[in-house]
Amino acid sequence: MTQITPFEILLVTAPGLEAPLAEEARALGFDVQGTITGGVTINGDWNDVWRANLELRGAGRVLARIGSFMAFHLAQLDKRARKFPWNEIFDPRYPIKVEVTSKKSKIYHAGAATQRIETALKETLGATISADAEITLKVRIDDNLCTFSVDTSGESLHKRGHKEAVGKAPMRENLAALFLRQCGYSGTETVVDPMCGSGTFVIEAAEIALGLQPGRNRGFAFEKFANFDPEAFASLKRTEIGHTELRFYGSDRDQGAVRMSAANAERAGVAEFTRFKHSAVSDLERPEGAPGLVIVNPPYGARIGDRKLLFSVYGALGKTLLERFKGWRVGMITSDAGLAKSSGLPFLPVEETVSHGGLRISLFRTEPL
């Protein structure tokens, strides 16, 4: 594969959020081909790989399909792996981790297949194999077709590079961005989170309004690839910060969460546009100006807290919003439909459930109240 020949790129996300990620990718000009469970496929070149990592808010990681061949037994896998042009992708100075899955194939022993591919990398490229390597080669053997993909991201893309402090059950940034998108948020209205935790929704909303690239403050695995072009990548980065008259508000009954959110916003460079305060949901105040979006990720009671005690919390939140936020839309993320219903808010039918941290969570949305 060359720098300019298009190939398949997989944008990974939580199952259930493929549609909004595909929508975001199209909006950014990527050549979307379709969706699979947990991902969106696009066609592109290495420039698109770099840009996807840098600009996509909803992707968890970006995988590049670097080649495939048929292999019906280990000797054949060994021979073809040794002929594969690894030097076009990998720099032997950096360790590689190999992960193999096998399904409906004559090569059914993933461990043996892993060993053959690792040996090919060591003996033909001079690579070091390490379980702790930042660079991961993912091998899928499905119906005897062996497909090589490389994880171009490294650390998960939800790690934007500016959040040091997180709460007990944090909402990942990439999920928060897609939930904001599903609520119709595009950066042109005020956002309020009355249970802000570490400030994820508020910070993401501010960054979107300011046109900031989510990957601007972090590094990526592809920067250690043999085909990486630092100057071309630098040209994709936007260094200027935009401006908005909007402000984005977070509050929490936990004083520590408020301090944490403010510190995270400062590191992200959006402190000027965000406001965090210590407040119970019953004391929530409507900001001045046009109606916007209230988005909240309350406790579910599944892992943190007692579910029975949460009905009053959801009820108080719903009452406050119905009384003080006329004209605003609401988005609520929870794993418990009963708790959502107890808020008394007029939710639309739920479209999808999303797999997150071993739970199935859903976005409950309203029209303007």
Looking at the DSSP bridge assignments, the partners of residue 137 are 98, 150
- What pLDDT, on the 0 to 100 scale, is given for residue 105? 81
Classify residue 2: in a domain, yes or no.
Answer: no
Q: Which pLDDT belongs to residue 123? A: 96
* Helix ranges, the chain (H): 18-27, 46-55, 74-83, 110-120, 173-182, 200-210, 230-234, 255-268, 307-324, 337-341
Q: Round to whole Å and give the CA distance between 101 and 311.
A: 43
Reduced to 3 states (helix: H, G, I; strand: E, B; else coil), residue 253 is coil
CA distance 190 to 201: 12
DSSP state at residue 131: T
Phi, psi dihedral angles at 92 (to 5 degrees): -60, -10
Question: Are 261 and 134 in a shared domain?
Answer: no
What is the span of the domain harbouring residue 244?
A: 173-214+240-365
CATH of the domain at 355: 3.40.50.150
Instruction: Take residue 290 and report the two structure tokens written for it.
Output: 């046009």
Whether 234 maps to a domain, the answer reads no
Q: What pLDDT, on the 0 to 100 scale, is given for residue 240?
A: 80
Residue that finishes a domain, picked among 151, 181, 199: 151
Output DSSP code: residue 307: H
Amino acid at 45: D
Task: Report the C-alpha gap between 254 and 169 in whole angstroms.
Answer: 14
Residue at 269 is within a domain: yes
- My answer on whether 329 and 190 are in the same domain is yes
Q: Could you tell me if 205 and 139 lie in one domain?
A: no
Q: Is residue 178 located within the same domain as residue 293?
A: yes
pLDDT of residue 108: 79
User: Would you tell me how many other CB atoms lie within 10 Å of the CB of residue 327?
Assistant: 10
**Three-state secondary-structure class, residue 102:** strand
Tell me the three state secondary structure of residue 97: strand
Residues 31 and 141 in one domain: yes
Q: What is the CATH number of the domain that holds 118?
A: 3.30.2130.30
Same domain, 66 and 142: yes
CA 352 to chain centre: 17
Q: Quick one: 123 and 196 in the same domain? A: no
How far is the C-alpha of 286 from the C-alpha of 329, rounded, in Å? Answer: 13
Q: What is the mean pLDDT of each run of 10 residues along the chain (369 residues)?
A: 78 96 98 96 97 98 96 91 96 96 84 93 96 95 93 96 68 96 97 96 97 95 97 92 93 94 95 96 94 94 69 95 98 95 96 86 97
Residue 248 corresponds to which amino acid?
F
Cα 24 → chain centroid:
12
